[in-house]
Structure 1
Amino acid sequence: MKKKQRQTWGPDQQPQQHYLVEPRYLAGGGDLRHVTEFLRASGFKDLSRPGGPLVFDSPDRTVRIGYDPFTPPGGWAIRGHATGHQEAWHAVLSPQVPVEIVAGLTDTLTKPRSAHAPNVWAPLHEQGWEAARGQHFTATSPARDAFVQFHQSGPGEAHWWAGARTEHGQTWDARFTPTTPLHLLQGFSTALADPQPAMRPLGHVPPSNRIRTTSVSVLPSELGAWQQARINAARAAAWARNTAQSGWPRTTARPHAHAGRTRTRR
């Protein structure tokens, strides 16, 4: 682990030790609230029961997102109902898929589709992932410890498959039906290839010599501000969508300064 001198903070708050983990796809599962609080703020209905799996339905009830830590193998299950020209689809992601990468998919569910045709492979290519053609089309990370594949095992038998591994073996995998909307898969691949590290608290960094870590001291107020900024962005986007759908004229909100991110490495 890389360590640098930690600054001295004021007396009002005690800094908490966290680690920036690279590559992010080997950072471990992370805090589920990164996904669930964004969904809730975006208008998804929380159908979870105390002590049970997490369940969220989209505002139009066409998509259900669940997280089940109790039933093996556990993890995320996302299902979309058939609507219009869109066939039914589903995705299954194991528990150790980092929440930042899960959010690449689930956040995209809350946004309008781009006018541009989606390209699942483009974000991977931009970050130097290597493509290989064969029976399956596969993109592999530069360190060769993560992949995305369009897997065709036979006529009419295809699925999207992604995963990561360390020296200890397979860390996680994610599978999507071939009917999964491509803009959602692009959101997933964009988050997967993102070079930005993931932050994990002390004691939640996976043991692996494939990762690089930087120790950072974070004030609770800073961490709360970063989390709240993400929630506020979801609420603002949901308000804009609802206003546009209602036909009422929109007003321009006064811009607010975003909380800065101060990092101290050690």
Structure 2
Amino acid sequence: MIPPPATHHWRTPLPTSFRDLIERQDWAEPSKAVTVGPRHFISAVPDSERLVAEFLTDRGWQRPRDDRLTRPCGRLGVHLPRGPNPEWTVWGAQHRGAQVAWTLTVQPWLPTELLAATITEAEAVLEEAPPQEREPFVRGVLALGLIPLARAGWTDDVHPRGSVSFRPPGGFANAVVAVPSSLRELRGKPAATVSSYGPNSYWDAKFSAGTPSRVLAAFSRELADPEPLLRNADHIRQLSPTHKHITIRSLTDKDEESLSPAALAARSRSNAPTPASAPAPPTPPADPAPATPSPTASR
């Protein structure tokens, strides 16, 4: 077993703004949404390309081409899954105009939350680097990026040749860091691969050599996070709620406690009853006609 060292505390939570984008979607209403876990049984959110593009442009990213997004510093970019390239590609460079230092390539049905968290962590690496740092993306022992899986109870297996792999308790996923070698890099093979092959999610995430272990750790952490994710019930019909390793719950009022303030405000507006027309004021009773005095009474 690989002991999970207590000296690495990499943590950049999933951005609240991206979570808000998901919760505000039409399919996230209680009548259409369910929460599903573990996360390796889940696929992408509907319209993930638009959501990621909106999320990044709101953070100041530029869109030089319809299929690309680039951080203003020019050291981090994303290629959208378009045309002959049906995959997401995240790349990092040590400085503007330099050769790409590392890449993450994933298929479009990867859980979108994992992609957003990984990009955010790469941004944090750049923001935390000293201004004169020539190589902000520090290359290290990539296998350290799988430590969050060990902490989450995934079973590890160290192979005699030096590669290491992890599997979740219920199976249907695998994470492997291969033996580093120059020949492998020249052949363009990934240094680390995280795969899911569940009934509703079938994807690979491939990390090239040179990927900072901190970036892989952000991906691993979000993948192993025990908090379920919000999804459309129509998109997970193949999942059996009776599977002993799958948890599927309908979104109820109790779940609103975990929603962000912005999502709660949007939900309260959408669920607000239409004000009924004010009832007409009651008609006051007519004053009784004065009685006519009797002739005898006047005498």
Note whether the superposition's TM-score is higher than 0.5: yes
Matches within 5 A, 1:82-93: 82-83=94-95, 88-93=101-106
Equivalent residue for 2:233, pick from 202, 227, 245: 202
Match of 1:150 in 2: 177
Match of 2:192 in 1: 160
* Contact 1:38/1:107 (8 A) holds in 2: no
Distance in structure 1 (CA, Å) of the matches to 2:151 and 2:232: 30
Matches within 5 A, 1:1-266: 15-31=30-46, 32=48, 33-49=50-66, 53=67, 55-71=68-84, 74-83=86-95, 88-111=101-124, 112-113=127-128, 119-134=144-159, 135=161, 136-152=163-179, 156-157=183-184, 159-167=191-199, 171-205=202-236, 207-209=238-240, 211-217=246-252, 226=260
Task: Could you tell me which runs of 5 or more consecutive residues in structure 2 were left unpaired when the two chains were aligned.
Answer: 1-28, 131-139, 185-189, 269-299
Q: Secondary structure at the match of 1:156?
A: helix
Q: Secondary structure at the match of 1:47?
A: strand
**Normalising to structure 1: TM-score of the pair?**
0.66
| C-alpha deviation, 1:86, in angstroms | 9.5
Q: Which has the higher strand share?
A: 1
Distance change >3 Å, CA 89–CA 206, structure 1 → 2: farther
| C-alpha deviation, 1:43, in angstroms | 1.6
Paired amino acid for 2:171: R
Paired amino acid for 2:197: R
The structure with higher relative contact order (CA 8 Å, sep 6+) is 1
**Normalising to structure 2: TM-score of the pair?**
0.60
| C-alpha deviation, 1:104, in angstroms | 2.1
| C-alpha deviation, 1:214, in angstroms | 0.6
Distance in structure 2 (CA, Å) of the matches to 1:77 and 1:27: 20
Distance in structure 1 (CA, Å) of the matches to 2:233 and 2:196: 22
Distance in structure 1 (CA, Å) of the matches to 2:156 and 2:51: 31
Percent identity of paired positions between Structure 1 and Structure 2: 23
Task: Could you tell me which runs of 5 or more consecutive residues in structure 1 were left unpaired when the two chains were aligned.
Answer: 1-13, 230-257
Match of 2:15 in 1: none
Deviation string for 1:60-110 (max 9, x for gaps)?
Answer: 0112102214335x1211122244999611111011110011122112123
Paired amino acid for 1:187: A
* Contact 2:89/2:105 (8 A) holds in 1: yes
Paired amino acid for 2:178: H
Paired amino acid for 1:142: P
RMSD value over aligned CA atoms? 3.5
Distance change >3 Å, CA 137–CA 260, structure 1 → 2: farther
Match of 1:232 in 2: none
